[in-house]
Amino acid sequence: MHHPLDGITVVALEQAVAAPFATRQLADLGARVIKVERPGAGDFARGYDRTVHGQSSYFVWLNRGKESVELDIKHDRVLLDALLDRADVVVQNLAPGAVERLGLDAETLRAARPELVHCSISGYGTTGPYRSKKAYDLLVQCETGLVSSTGTPDAPAKAGVSIADIAAGMYAYSGILTALYDRERTGQGASLHVAMIDALGEWMSQPAYFSRDGGEGPRRTGARHPSIAPYGPHRTRDGSVFLGVQNDREWTVLCRDILGKPELADRFRTNDDRVEHVEELTSIIETEFERLDTAHVVELLEQGGIANARLRTPAEFTRHPQLAARQRWRRVDIPGGAVDALLPPVVGWEPVMGAVPALGAHTEAVRAEFLGAKGEPA
């Protein structure tokens, strides 16, 4: 079966989330991803938890379809150099300054092989006062204003997923694809760098504009929207339903056809009016919704063309009827078992969805392939 990145070899000097997220996308598209791991310990994300047949949920999520090679990159340079000599792409997110000290930086590697695509991911970039500062997902969420924008009026909160890492990984992935496309036309590779603060900062631009140019600080509104109403959770008789009204026409429909209170449409005519009086508005809506169970409220909202959702847990998401109906799960082997993995979001070809490797599972095979029986580059 043909895959878009067949024939592309990626050497991944990676750990944790950001770089592994980028390279897993490449593996799903058919690239050969050789993951270089520390002898005995491996990527420290292997130890984050032991919840998936004894494996880390993070590692299972981020590393399917890769080959794991245990390698001391400080001392076993023969094999590493052989890998780099045949790589199309190098991806790294080691500690700040590590690749420069080891001679694995873009400038050094691309001096010998200008066709190489080299992508580095860091927390804060290579210059400036934060260039050597440790950067974990929560900390970058703090520095970009996300934590202060999330939560309730009483307490800020982090995002529930590794959003700074994911943002950086997605920009690295798209940057690598762009560089490979450009190389097809020019023959030249690229030196790419993605900083987590820049990646998540892009996603924080709207609240940044709102706060800076609107003259007020971030609004923490829990699960409600800070600048659109009604938009968020509303209690029903047996739970809650989330709804989103996007314009005045939908607001009129909600008041007239669902709440049976057409006079509300004129009383809270504009979105600004509704946001200003959101507490009163929520109370009025919930008074009506609490007479009905959630399923009935959802049915009414659907009939009225009002966007809505049920509140599901992550476990309930894995049983979502829409995903089941669209056959969005594939069985993936992992050390000690198998797991249902969600297909990549882009639909257009069947992804590889390879196995999650045990630590060092491919070391000997890769060593034989790249160095041969005599232990010298093949």
Tokens of 258: 């669902």
Strands 240-244 and 307-309: antiparallel
> Is the separation of the CB atoms in 293 and 238 below 8 Å?
yes
What residues contact residue 197 under an 8 Å CB cut-off, 6+ apart?
A: 123, 124, 125, 130, 135, 140, 143, 144
> Is the separation of the CB atoms in 58 and 45 below 8 Å?
yes
Which own/partner contact pairs does 277-283 have at CB distance under 8 Å and 24+ positions apart? 278/224, 278/229, 278/230, 281/229, 281/230, 282/230, 282/234
Burial annotation 59-82 (CB, 10 A radius, 16+ → b, else e): bbbbbbbbbbbbbebeeeeebbeb
The one catalytic residue in 3, 225, 296, 362 is: 225
Active-site residue 193, yes or no? no
One DSSP character per residue, 214-245 reads HTSPPP--TTS-SSSSSEEEEE-SSSEEEEE-
> Is the separation of the CB atoms in 26 and 173 below 8 Å?
yes
Q: Report the run of H or E that residue 370 belongs to, with start and end.
A: helix 363-371
Tokens of 28: 């799903």
**What is the rounded (10 degree) CA torsion for 207, 211, 214, 219?**
80
Three-state DSSP at 282 gives helix
Determine what percent of the chain falls in helix, strand and coil, rounding each to the nearest 5.
40, 15, 40
The residue whose two tokens read 């984050």 is 48
Strands 117-122 and 32-37: unpaired
> Is the separation of the CB atoms in 21 and 199 below 8 Å?
no
Q: Which residues sit opposite 11 in a β-bridge?
A: 34, 90
Q: What is the DSSP-derived secondary structure letter of residue 44?
A: G
> Is the separation of the CB atoms in 370 and 82 below 8 Å?
yes
Q: Which residues are catalytic?
A: 225
